[in-house]
A and B are shown apart, each in its own frame.
Chain A
Amino acid sequence: MICSGRYEGSRGALRLSLPFVPGTMFESLQQTLGEALKRLRGRGRLTEANIRDAMQDVRRALLDADVHHQVVETFLTRVTEKSVGQTVLRSIDPGEQILKCVYDELVALMGPVDTALPAARKDRPAIVMLCGLQGQGKTTTAGKLALTAKQAGRKPMLVAADLQRPAAMEQLRLLGEQIDVPVYLELGQIDASGNRIGGPGAVEICKTALARARDRGCDLIILDTAGRLHVAEMPMEELRQIDRVVGPDHVYLVCDALTGQDAVNSAQAFNEALELNGVILTKMDGDARGGAALSIKEVTRVPIKFLGMGEKLDRLEEFRPEGMAQRILGQGDILSLIDKVSRVQSEISDEEREKQQKKLEEGSFNLNDFRKQLDMLKKMGPAKDLINSMPGMSQLMPAGQDPEQSIRRIQGIIDSMTRRERADPDEIDYDRRLRIARGSGTRAEEVKQLLTQFEMMRNVMRAMAKMSMLERIKMMSGMSKMGAFMPGAKIVSKGDTGHRKSPRERAEDRKKKKR
């Protein structure tokens, strides 16, 4: 970017993820939902009656996020339908269970995303037209799209078709200069006061620009149109004319994230006039919740494609429904964890879950169970995430080693044990360790280390079994050293040289555990 001299703060660092919007004036939905549903924990099923209060909280959150009120109502009906009948799990806070339902529904509604710009046709460049109300960010977005296309190896050209706003053409010209993309403009005759008093109209300009672009060998032109009200007849007619005369391949509506209830009115009108192909939501770098994204998608079915994340031209991001759902709900990244955990849980049957829960609480969770969990978790995502989503896992990973490889080693070690050994790791003595090491192609010390770490992990898990899912996740994401966050659990940290238990002490421990 050429344009600089302006402090962008830490926003640069957040480029790839949506900034977390702290719930300053909004109570955390997680909290309020938890309150509304506390009594239900581990008891029976969700019914329309018992989630009514929670749905009121969800409703409030969506309205605070500027989701259109009618969209809120239909949305709540759907979420209620999906929630009713679900078993209330014991290991998860019912509030979180509902929150996940809400989240999933939001994601489903706002996705999927296709950010591909149209390809050039045989006989002419691809044409993208931007439209929208005044001041939404059309001109800036035109520059951003041109830069994106250019970076993808295309040859874009910008077209200044806003003859309305003073210096709008100059604005686009300067943006084009910054990114070294040609801009087509026809200033026409200008009088002493800078008023444009003659020259071709917007439709004409777009038509000529297309011919010029073809001559220059451009494969994409982006039309920057003037901002207009959706209720203004003449200006809307002008857009329809451009649409008819040059036939854009894609028409995008540019709408900013600050927009309130009116978003559906304008989006609907633009969509009726032009058949939109996509929506670009700008000014997402602030703290607006951006409920307009949901409203527009729900009402027009037009997908959101990109997000504007700042004034500079490199601040365009592909739309991610997951991030947007979190933002509308006012949650941090914690939701992705909840999502992951609950996916894990959906993989195990209710009975299996009950069994595991019980085992955790009794501390009889053994290496067989651990092996099962590793398998399950491995299906869920990259090893890096896995490590963060299981307590104590990071301690099991030697520093500097590829996590995928470490997990394979751990599994190898466990696989070389007998069923009995896995069920009662305390039985594993030096000879058995040697055997296991040979079987798994590791060293006896590694086997021993795994066993020690597992013991620590089991303690943590036992303590965690009594916590809510949220507390667990908080703990997991915040933990670096296990001993530091679990004052209750008897944990010997890795570096501790504390005394080595004699076989008799260990036998005693075992007895205690079995009680």
Chain B
Amino acid sequence: MLGALWRKLKAGLARTRDLFAGIAGLFTGKGRVDENFIKELERRLLAADLGAGPTAELVDQVKRDFRDREAGEDLKSMVREKLRQMLGDDDRSLRIAASGPTVILVAGVNGSGKTTTIAKLASLFHRNGKKVVVAACDTFRAAAVEQLGIWADRIGCDIVRAQHGTDPASVAHDACEKAKARGADIVIVDTAGRLHTQTHLMKELEKIQRVLGKQIPGAPHEALMVLDATNGQNAIAQAEQFGKVIGGTGIVLTKLDGTAKGGAIFSIKARTGLPVKYVGVGETIEDLEPFDADAFVAALFD
């Protein structure tokens, strides 16, 4: 991943050097781990949306182990190591069905980047010679179907769509039928954005998930929650709720090409175990990268 993401992150940071300086500047090897140092470390972790809890934990550990010692490489690698550990060592590849179509269900709050991420994934599979069907199950938002339709055209993959207002579960059903009939390899299901507090809409998701499972054994093989990296602590509740309802298998962290760091994923990992599998780094179809935990942590320091 030390490719596009890395470059973009660096470019983004370079433009706004003073405002968004990473944590690395702290560890110059000069100076001591004193009150000022601790304060600064804390500020930078908070600024990355790590949240008050994880930040306090990390800062306490630094206080305990490094108080009045030199703020150098040891400390840097300790903090880095600790952060890296928090992200775990999961298998971050997408699960593919042993036989028959692989179904990927995509959900998340409004505007997080679901449809764009689906286009990116569809394009990725398509370029790898897979036969892809996308299911336009967002039958609620104005022009959501048209939006996915344009992407499908650009990519050259199949789309299953229905009229505005159709039960999304029935669109999911039709997409599975079509995928089986056509011998498709991948079905990617777009859903309407919804807030995790909207019980009835969460039930609707559950229903889509159930229908997929009935149509294709083991489906959905991947249930991804799309999370906007600019989101703060609410991301945790999102992950908990969506993860539970769709039987989440992973997260796609979008909009990392901005100045937001997406630090909520540390808490999310701790509380739900959900690993980040991909990251979105732009609006075009190429702007998708497999998540690389080392690079992600390094980016916090740069």
Contacts and interface: CB of A to CB of B under 8 A. Distances in A.
Interface string B232-271: 1111111000000000000000010111110010000000
Contacts of B235: 258, 260
B110 A283 contact: yes
Nearest to B39: A73
Given A134-B255, A167-B150, A64 B233 contact: yes
A135 B234 contact: no
A231 B258 contact: yes
A60 B233 CA distance: 12
Contacts of B237: 24-25, 287
Interface stretch (A189-197, A212-220, A385-393): A189-197
A258 B52 contact: no
B153 A261 contact: no
B113 A266 contact: no
Given A5-B165, A25-B236, A63 B259 contact: no
B154 A194 contact: yes
B51 interface: yes
Contacts of A70: 43
A178 B140 CA distance: 13
Interface string B206-221: 0000000000000000
30 contacts: A5-B165, A6-B140, A66-B232, A133-B230, A134-B113, A134-B255, A135-B112, A135-B228, A137-B110, A137-B111, A167-B143, A167-B147, A171-B143, A175-B142, A178-B142, A192-B153, A193-B153, A194-B149, A194-B150, A229-B258, A258-B234, A258-B238, A260-B232, A260-B264, A261-B47, A261-B48, A265-B19, A283-B195, A285-B195, A285-B197
B153 A194 contact: yes
B200 interface: yes
Contacts of A173: 143
B232 A231 contact: no
B157 to A, nearest CB: 12
Contacts of A174: 142-143
A7 B201 contact: yes
Contact of B46 (A6, A69, A285): A69
B81 interface: no
B69 interface: no
Given A25-B237, A166-B150, A231-B12, A260 B230 contact: yes
B121 to A, nearest CB: 16
Contacts of B20: 265
A6 B150 CA distance: 25
Interface string B145-165: 011011101100000000001
Contacts of A178: 142
Given A63-B46, A231-B259, A291 B232 contact: yes
A177 to B, nearest CB: 9
Interface in A258-306: 258-263, 265-266, 283, 285-289, 291-292
B272 interface: no
A260 B112 contact: no
A256 B235 CA distance: 13
A286 B255 CA distance: 21
Nearest to A6: B140
B234 A262 contact: no
10 pairs of A and B residues whose beta carbons are closest in the complex? A260-B232, A135-B111, A66-B232, A286-B195, A171-B143, A262-B260, A166-B150, A167-B146, A194-B150, A167-B147
B109 interface: yes
A362 to B, nearest CB: 46
B141 interface: yes
A164 interface: yes
B49 A261 contact: yes
Contact of A134 (B111, B154, B196, B199): B111
A311 interface: yes
A134 B282 CA distance: 10
A9 interface: yes
Interface residues of B, number: 55
Interface in A321-364: none
A165 interface: yes
A192 B153 CA distance: 8
Q: Which of A11, A60, A65, A287 has the most chain B CB atoms inside 10 A of its CB?
A: A287
A230 interface: yes
B128 interface: no
Contacts of B99: none
Q: Which of B140, B150, B238, B261 has the most chain A CB atoms inside 10 A of its CB?
A: B150
A286 B112 contact: no
Nearest to A292: B232
Contacts of A283: 109-111, 195
A329 to B, nearest CB: 14
B36 interface: no
A9 B195 CA distance: 12
Given A133-B255, A136-B111, A287-B237, A259 B150 contact: no
A69 B43 contact: yes
B38 to A, nearest CB: 14
B259 A262 contact: yes
A204 interface: no
A262 B283 contact: no
A402 to B, nearest CB: 39
A13 to B, nearest CB: 14
A333 B144 CA distance: 37
A289 B237 CA distance: 12
B51 A63 contact: yes
Given A63-B46, A257-B234, A285-B195, 18 more contacts: A3-B142, A25-B237, A66-B234, A69-B47, A135-B255, A164-B283, A168-B147, A170-B142, A195-B154, A229-B257, A256-B110, A258-B235, A260-B233, A261-B48, A262-B49, A286-B196, A287-B234, A289-B234
Contacts of A292: 232
A253 to B, nearest CB: 13
Nearest to A291: B232
Contacts of B144: 167, 171
A35 B111 CA distance: 40
A194 B143 CA distance: 13
B150 to A, nearest CB: 4
A214 to B, nearest CB: 27
A66 B236 CA distance: 12
B20 to A, nearest CB: 7
Q: Which of B144, B195, B232 has the most chain A CB atoms inside 10 A of its CB?
A: B232
B257 A170 contact: no
B205 to A, nearest CB: 13
A261 B46 contact: yes
Nearest to B257: A229
Contacts of B12: 231
Given A135-B112, A258-B234, A265 B259 contact: yes
Contacts of B141: 171, 311
Contacts of B201: 6-7
Given A230-B258, A266-B259, A286-B197, A258 B232 contact: yes
Nearest to A194: B150
Interface in B172-200: 195-200
